[in-house]
Amino acid sequence: MSPRTITNAGFNLDATVGDMWVDGSWIWPLAWRDVYPVLIQDNIQIVHKDMADRVLWKHGNELHDHSSAIVWQSIRTREPDVDWVCIVWFAQCIPKHAFLMWLIMRRKLLTQDKILQWDFSRRKNMNMMCCLLCYADYDSHHHLFFECNFSSQVWNLVRGKVGMDNVEPKWSVIVDRLCSGSSSKSASSYVSKLVVTATAYAIWQERNARLFKNHARPPDAIGANVLQTVRYKLMGVKFKAMEKCEGFFKLGIFMTLTATTVGGD
Ligand SMILES: [Zn+2]
């Protein structure tokens, strides 16, 4: 409502909603109802007639001070947490890795197996398609993470650094292993998640570098790059949330184990 509208109707500019409520009815001009339909709704509450106006947000049956946070809580749809939430979004994760991890868990990457499901007219030249990492099969989520001969070599290079020596290069097996310890705040659980997400990220990067830039690196360079990324991350980790002694001990082992294998790539 413009100041002119308010003064033309004979009201002061500092009048409150409470001033409009006199003897049990609204005293604003009837013509306002057509221009401002909100005035017809019965959701204007006079809490205290003498108080200054406040805009409140009704969330459920409660009134809250208005904020974007409370509006978002009201309008968003809620679903129960999936059982893998803790291995994707965890404290002190690497955000770009977490986002890719989320896409992988939802099977949302545009892999070749999806393209091959398109109708025939759109896949004219796609019979030549193959995984650019191993050239043996077309790529898919299962193949890339990490059943592909190339990816599995990378996994085999990094898994021992986080005590996952016996975990085969299969996404479902790795996810089960991470989920079984995902609620733990231990350093080893944290580092395992960092290594798996960094490895998945590096494989997807390598696949895209080969596809779009024709730039290829061998598995040991990818493995070294993963370990280097994790080491850099760990150097900046705040230990408060973790059990300190165990954290320093395990991280010390990780740093020692990876220090000799991390080359300059
Ligand atoms: Zn492959």
State whether 160 and 197 are in the same domain.
yes
Tokens of 203: 């494989």
**Rounded to the nearest whole angstrom, what is the distance from the C-alpha of residue 149 to the centroid of ligand 1?**
6
Distance, first Cα to last Cα, the chain: 63
Q: Which domain holds residue 48?
A: 3-75
Res 248: pLDDT: 58
Confidence of residue 45 (pLDDT cuts 50, 70, 90): low
> Does residue 265 lie within any of the structural domains?
no
State whether 53 and 98 are in the same domain.
no
**Rounded to the nearest whole angstrom, what is the distance from the C-alpha of residue 142 to the centroid of ligand 1?**
10
> Does residue 200 lie within any of the structural domains?
yes
Please tell me the distance from the alpha carbon of residue 134 to that of residue 139, in angstroms, as a whole number. Answer: 9
State whether 115 and 69 are in the same domain.
no
Q: pTM of the predicted model, to two decimals?
A: 0.71
Q: How many domains does the chain have?
A: 2
C-beta separation of 138 from 112 below 8 A? yes
> Does residue 212 lie within any of the structural domains?
yes
**Rounded to the nearest whole angstrom, what is the distance from the C-alpha of residue 87 to the centroid of ligand 1?**
25
State whether 60 and 89 are in the same domain.
no
25 sits in which H/E element? strand 25-26
> Does residue 80 lie within any of the structural domains?
no
**Rounded to the nearest whole angstrom, what is the distance from the C-alpha of residue 34 to the centroid of ligand 1?**
66
The helix/strand/coil state of 40 is helix
Confidence of residue 263 (pLDDT cuts 50, 70, 90): very low
**Rounded to the nearest whole angstrom, what is the distance from the C-alpha of residue 134 to the centroid of ligand 1?**
4
State whether 13 and 124 are in the same domain.
no
Q: What percent of the chain has pLDDT over 90?
A: 48
**Rounded to the nearest whole angstrom, what is the distance from the C-alpha of residue 185 to the centroid of ligand 1?**
34
> Does residue 145 lie within any of the structural domains?
yes
Q: For 105-143, what is each residue's pLDDT tens digit?
A: 999 999 988 888 876 666 666 666 889 999 998 899 999
